[in-house]
Amino acid sequence: MTRAPREIHIRAAVPDDAEAIARLSGELGYPTTPADARRRLFDIKTSKNHAVMVAADGSGSVVGWIHVFRSRRLGGEPFAELGGLVVTESLRGHGIGSRMVAVAEEWAAEREIATLRIRTRTTRNDARLFYEDLGFVLTKTQVVFERQLIED
């Protein structure tokens, strides 16, 4: 494990962060290009119901990102959901992810959203333990179905 940076700043993501977001997404198992990350970031940031923040070290290097959004369902109250959270592998375990989750919780509270929901693959045991350590409670297990509507 790498030594934790002395300074970590959490700030709103900007287009210039796209390359780091793409690299970190790949570490999470979701490979993407910087161009695609930039396009998605632009789409997400134009909605008041979404926020993307990055964690940057003292030199400005992005070492993590988090995406939180407001979700509405006809059958229930709105909730906030994490669309993704990743900290560079070498810096995991130093509190960076916990700090980013706290920022997402603040974002939700400012919008009077009472619940923050997180989904993670059942195979991601480290993620499950991380969220449980933060006080999140397993409320259900799902099966996800998908159907391609447009061929690549």
Cα–Cα dist 59/86, whole Å: 19
Cα–Cα dist 133/127, whole Å: 10
The bridge status of strand 116-117 relative to strand 76-87 is: parallel
Q: What is the pLDDT of residue 6?
A: 75
Domain annotation covers residue 111:
yes
Block residue for tokens 């980013």: 100
Q: What is the pLDDT of residue 64?
A: 98
CB atoms within 10 A of CB 138: 9
How many domains is the chain built from? 1
* Residue 53 φ/ψ, nearest 5 degrees: -120, 155
Contact between 134 and 101 under an 8 Å Cβ cutoff? The reply is yes
Structural domain boundaries, residue 25 = 8-133
The alpha carbon of residue 26 and the mean position of all alpha carbons in its chain are separated, in whole angstroms, by: 13
How does 102-132 read in b/e, with b if 16+ C-beta sit within 10 Å? ebbeebbeeeebeebebebeeeeeebbebbe
**What CATH number has the domain bearing residue 85?**
3.40.630.30
Domain annotation covers residue 140:
no
Q: What is the CA radius of gyration of the chain?
A: 16
Cα–Cα dist 2/90, whole Å: 5
Q: What is the pLDDT of residue 4?
A: 63
66: helix, coil or strand? strand
Domain annotation covers residue 43:
yes
Quick one: DSSP state of residue 59? T
Domain annotation covers residue 48:
yes
pLDDT of the chain, 152 residues: tens digit per residue: 566 667 999 999 999 999 999 999 999 999 999 999 999 999 998 999 999 999 999 999 999 999 999 999 999 999 999 999 999 999 999 999 999 999 999 999 999 999 999 999 999 999 999 999 999 999 999 898 999 999 87
Domain annotation covers residue 16:
yes
Cα–Cα dist 80/28, whole Å: 21
One-letter identity of residue 30? Y
